[in-house]
Chain A
Amino acid sequence: MKKFAAIALASVMAISLLAGCTGDSTGTTSSASTGSNSGKADTSLSGTITMTGSTSMQNLCQALQEAFPQVYPDVTIDAQFTGSGAGIEAVTAGTVDIGNASRALTDEEKAAGIVENVVAIDGIAVVVNPANGVSNLTQDQLKQIYTGEVTNWSEVGGPDMTIVVVGRESGSGTRSAFEELLGIEDKCAYAQELDSTGGVATTVSSTEGAVGYLSLDALDDTVKAVQIDGVDATEENITAGTYALQRPFVMATKGEISEQSELVQGFFEYMYSEQGQQVVSQVGLITVDGPSAE
């Protein structure tokens, strides 16, 4: 019986070792993808930063949850994703330190003492096959294409070719941003729902009549980005605010950053530092300069 126990124990250990291995490997890959560790650890800050809000900012927040403690090991970030409106409500009520919103704040919200700290910008490019003659679409045309009102490129100034509407799967941040910005949430009639940015690029580059959208940093030569309302999809135009398919990622605070606790101030300092903005670009967003007012 002893022998049986020993063998059973050994097998349990072997199994847990296996389980441990898989756990470890996922851990390293995910931290490697967001890792911007400079090696030094700062223990001057400790505690928990609470934030809640936009579901679109989930990727960014999760990357921060991994990257921030690499610099400040004693700090944990507690992030919940309840929607932009709920995030601003929570920060107004003072139940969280930071309210996340994937839109600009309204005047009403600003009047309530909420400060709009833009930490990143989300930009979306609309792409077509390089062989497609169309090089400019208006927002209205885009809406019509994606809701299925327009089904042929000839209706928007292109060749006589049926449009293949390519998009992302539900739950994708790019999809929700695209649909939100055009005001066509859950009204889209997709012909293909792909589960990766790469998939969209590959499909559009290999399907003549295809139109797709992807986050700006994923643009490459295999597809052609069209102008929206005559404006090129470039980082410059997004920073200048002329390109339509963009939205700010706001981490709102009640009162200026300088009025916040040391912990939250430290967080924003990190956020606007080179390291913080590196995390921003790693999750496919456009970086911003720190608040110049301070």
Chain B
Amino acid sequence: MKVKSSNPAVAPSGKTSILGVNQSRKAIERTATIIFFVCGIVAILAVAAITIYLIASGAPALGKVGILDILFGTVWSPTADDPSFGIAYLILASIFGTALAICIGVPIGLLAAVFLAEIANSKLANIVRPCVELLAGIPSVVYGLLGAIILCPLMYDIEEAIFANDPSHQMTGGKNLISAILVLAIMILPTVINVSESSLRAVPQDYRSSSLALGASKIQTIFKVTIPAAKSGILTGVVLGIGRALGEAMAVVMVCGNVANVPFPFNSVRFLTTGIVSEMGYSSGLHRQVLFTIGLVLFVFIMIINVLVNVVLKKGVEKE
């Protein structure tokens, strides 16, 4: 009669049969299964809808303009009489921007994770960890705003000092690739820190003890034992960080200058995301279709990143 007590729907008088209890329980079980199923389907439907929509609206322009002209063209003048839709600089800016942001953000993030998981005492970690979590919760537009207010004027000063009398450089007022990279680097920190920290914590204590017992110092243990053991988790964090940096639009658009230039450090640059964000409002016709194509290119990039995550994760599992 244990069933009875666990099921409040059944009166405690003992009159209901075990069969009846089982039946009502079955119904609840089945309903729950269906609800879960429907919720799962929503995610699939959303992904399918987005994929189909992006391909349907992004592919026509590829045919009309020419896939090579779009992907490898360097001139972006969509509203000219003889329009040109080259997004090569946008792609390059996105790749360079993301790559450099990772180069800055990952070492900092990884070391911060090591600090949290290995070095800091619990009191200190309990102060630092909420800060990192808060960093993850700050809306990207705030990052952009702070970048535009604090970082860009600083960059403007540096720019003026470096290119004071250089006619070949166009003064950008501090909105350049470096500003965008710095903002992105900070934005990916929480992702990298959180994922790395939990994978570092998942490394069995035995590993550390063995290493220490063999005479290795704490630092040696961290770099030679713990980090290699947590490699797959850390890589996942890095790849997720790449995804975040690549897809970020709002913060970047406020600090990058948004002109389709060669992505040199002090040039005003345009990313794939910012290209869409800034021109969607008033675009029409083929111009609008090409913006969808940019979305498609971005989507393909993100897909590649996701596949990478899966491969990295699988490798990690196989090893264990």
Chain A residues in contact with chain B, CB under 8 A? Answer: 3-4, 7-8, 11, 15, 55, 58, 81, 148, 151, 162-166, 169-173, 176, 185-186, 189-195, 203, 206-210
Contact = CB atoms under 8 A, between A and B. Distances in A.
A191 B38 contact: no
B167 A151 contact: yes
A191 B283 contact: no
Contacts of A176: 79
Nearest to B171: A162
A151 B15 CA distance: 93
Contact of B283 (A4, A171, A194, A206): A171
A151 B34 contact: no
A129 B95 CA distance: 34
B77 A81 contact: no
A173 B174 CA distance: 26
Interface string B273-288: 0000111011110010
B78 A206 contact: no
Contacts of B57: none
B79 A194 contact: no
Contacts of A15: 42
Interface in B242-300: 253, 257-259, 268, 270, 277-279, 281-284, 287
B69 interface: no
Contacts, number: 102
Given A151-B167, A151-B170, A164-B171, A207 B156 contact: yes
Contact of A3 (B31, B149, B153, B259): B31
Contacts of B31: 3, 7
Contact of B80 (A165, A185, A192, A203): A185
A58 B167 contact: no
B49 to A, nearest CB: 11
B258 A169 contact: yes
Contact of A169 (B153, B172, B278, B284): B278
Contacts of A170: 76-79, 279, 287
A209 B175 CA distance: 13
A100 to B, nearest CB: 14
Contacts of B76: 170
Interface string B24-50: 000000110011001000100000000
Contacts of B175: 191-192, 203
A169 B80 contact: no
- Which of B30, B80, B287 lies at the interface centre, i.e. has the most chain A CB atoms within 10 A of its CB? B80
Given A3-B31, A164-B171, A185-B80, A191 B163 contact: no
Contact of B170 (A11, A58, A148, A171): A148
A203 B282 contact: no
Contacts of B171: 151, 162-164, 191, 209
Contacts of B156: 207-208
B170 A191 contact: yes
Contacts of A171: 78-79, 279, 281-284, 287
Contacts of A166: 173
B81 interface: yes
Contacts of A193: 257-259, 270, 278
A191 B257 contact: yes
19 contacts: A3-B30, A3-B34, A15-B42, A58-B282, A148-B170, A151-B171, A169-B278, A169-B279, A169-B281, A169-B282, A170-B77, A186-B77, A192-B172, A193-B278, A194-B278, A195-B277, A195-B278, A195-B279, A207-B156
Given A170-B78, A170-B279, A191 B34 contact: no
Interface string B67-91: 0000000001111110000000000
A65 to B, nearest CB: 15
B259 A190 contact: yes
B286 to A, nearest CB: 12
- Give the most central of A172, A192, A194: most B CB within 10 Å: A192
Contacts of A207: 153, 156, 173-174
A254 B277 CA distance: 40
B228 to A, nearest CB: 45
A274 to B, nearest CB: 28
A189 B170 contact: yes
